[in-house]
Amino acid sequence: MLAGTKISRSDQNRALALSTVAFTACFAVWTIFAIIGVAIKKELSLSEFQFGLLVATPILTGSVVRIVLGVWTERYGGRIVFPLQMLAAAAATWALTWATTYPQYLLAALGIGLSGGSFIIGVAYVSRWYDKGHQGTALGIFGAGNVGAAVTKFVAPFVMVAWGWQGVAQVWSVGLALMAVVFFLLAKDDPELTQRRAGGYKAPGWAEQFAPLKKLQVWRFSLYYFFVFGAFVALALWMPHYLIDVYGVDVKVAGMAAAAFSLSASIFRAYGGHLSDKYGARTVMYWTFGFSLALLFVLSYPPTDYIITGKNGPVTFSTAIGLWPFIAIMFTLGFFMSLGKAAVFKHIPVYYPNHVGSVGGLVGMIGGLGGFVLPIVFGALLDMTGIYTSCFMLLFLLVGIALAWMHGSIRLMERAAHGAVLRRLPALPEMQTIHSPDETRLSGR
């Protein structure tokens, strides 16, 4: 938001509400294959690899396209880019019902992936309506639109029973298209775009927009988001498979448990934004990484049988996490991931107020790629080690690296800031005496 620009509370609420609802609708479409993918796999007799590629394609494209959509939002405004993106994704979702061959399904999935790019559009648009002291809360509320994944998991099965998977795609497509029209009609151009047009200023060029991407700090933020968002998406996809294999539950219980994790990792994002405004995003990131490290250590420990030689003979015991403790730990992990997602994007408008689209686009892209890459690595680790908890071991290592890098960078910045302050202080009298010629001569006797 430009300094000195007065914005009414009603305009702020309008922008935030429309963006949050639109993002929820987009996220519901982005994760549509979590439900209809099973029916499509059976219909086409897909192999595990073909099915995995089909389900992952929207995640991949929705991540890669974020950086471009972010820059376009900076140039043309969210009121234009958001509806166009939703209409394109809605058209691809409807086109899915026309597909008859596997390549056609993949092509439609590419278009559906555009819905995943909605996040950075909303971030760039919403952040311009709020000052720095309230951006964290606003972006946290907006980011809670991740709950769209849970909406699909809860509602889509009932629609699919009534009208088949094609009915799910058609209903979701029409809903997204209607949301695009509502957004265009009710939303307003953000204040910075309005002021730029009134003053006849040109939009920033591509080179200027991408200039901050050369900074290592931006890539550090990307690593944070790779964990808090990428691992969230990966675990949401991996949990049903994990629960069925490890605990022997049916698909309904596994789906409900995964939905609970998705809810936890989504609805508390608004609270994470509030905490970031109140205590600082850096503090919230310490909470996120610290608690995640402890929780993932517990989750990483595989069921183990111990035999101890005691006074009266061998003493045996085993360590294993039961089903309900596992669900409780995952819910807690999702809570801290949710706080972290808000804290990461609290940093960006503060450090890069004029490059939210490009910087946020890169950070969002890397985070989204985590949702694509990590499930593949989870499977590879399971094949190589045969240990189901290897997925949590990987995340434990990842969050440990992120925490160490963050703490090291913060310490370096603090030392540099303290050094600059000390250099600006006037010399103390005793220091002047020490370095005076007379004192030097006396000390040499």
What six digits make up the tokens of 308? 């101890």
Residue 197 CA to residue 71 CA, distance in Å, equals 17
For residue 115, name the pLDDT band (cuts at 50, 70, 90). Answer: very high
For residue 325, name the pLDDT band (cuts at 50, 70, 90). Answer: very high
Judged against a pLDDT cut of 60, whether residue 433 lies above it is answered with no
Residue 262 CA to residue 259 CA, distance in Å, equals 5
Q: How many domains would you assign to the chain? A: 1
Is the dihedral angle over the CA atoms 69, 75, 79, 81 positive or is it negative? negative
Provide the CATH number for the domain around residue 315. 1.20.1250.20
Judged against a pLDDT cut of 70, whether residue 165 lies above it is answered with yes
For residue 442, name the pLDDT band (cuts at 50, 70, 90). Answer: very low
pLDDT for res 441:
45
Residue 241 CA to residue 376 CA, distance in Å, equals 13
- The reply to whether 97 falls in a domain is yes
Rg, the chain, Cα only:
25
- Beta-bridge mates of residue 319: 304
- The reply to whether 429 falls in a domain is yes
- The reply to whether 132 falls in a domain is yes
Q: Which is more confidently placed, 149 or 409?
A: 409
> Which residue range(s) make up the domain with 83?
9-197+204-436
Backbone angles phi, psi at 308, to 5 degrees: -115, 130
Judged against a pLDDT cut of 50, whether residue 431 lies above it is answered with no
CB-based contacts of 404, cutoff 8 Å, min separation 6: none
pLDDT for res 200:
66
Judged against a pLDDT cut of 60, whether residue 189 lies above it is answered with yes
The stretches of 211-322 forming alpha helices (DSSP H) are 216-225, 232-247, 251-267, 269-279, 281-300
What is the biggest distance separating any 2 CA atoms in the chain, rounded to whole angstroms?
Answer: 100
Q: Which is more confidently placed, 329 or 211?
A: 329
The stretches of 96-147 forming alpha helices (DSSP H) are 102-112, 118-127, 132-143
Percentage of the chain beyond pLDDT 70 is: 88
Q: What is the mean pLDDT of residues 104-113?
A: 93
Percentage of the chain beyond pLDDT 90 is: 30
- The reply to whether 117 falls in a domain is yes
pLDDT by residue (tens digit) across 68-92?
Answer: 888 888 888 889 999 999 999 999 9
- The reply to whether 350 falls in a domain is yes
CA angle 287/232/268 to nearest 5° reads: 55
Task: Break the chain down into helix, strand, coil percent, rounded to 5.
Answer: 85, 5, 15
Q: Which is more confidently placed, 289 or 72?
A: 289
Please answer whether residues 288 and 402 qualify as being in contact, where contact means their C-beta atoms are separated by less than 8 angstroms.
no
Label residue 21 exposed, middle or buried (CB < 10 Å: 0-12, 13-18, 19+).
middle
Judged against a pLDDT cut of 70, whether residue 251 lies above it is answered with no
Regarding pTM above 0.85, the answer is no
- The reply to whether 61 falls in a domain is yes
Angle between helices 118-127 and 78-95 (to 10 degrees): 160
Residue 338 CA to residue 272 CA, distance in Å, equals 7
Judged against a pLDDT cut of 60, whether residue 187 lies above it is answered with yes
For residue 204, name the pLDDT band (cuts at 50, 70, 90). Answer: low
- The reply to whether 2 falls in a domain is no
For residue 267, name the pLDDT band (cuts at 50, 70, 90). Answer: confident
- The reply to whether 323 falls in a domain is yes
What six digits make up the tokens of 70? 């972010």
User: Which of 16-20, 265-269, 336-340 has the weakest average pLDDT?
Assistant: 265-269
pLDDT for res 445:
43
pLDDT for res 340:
93
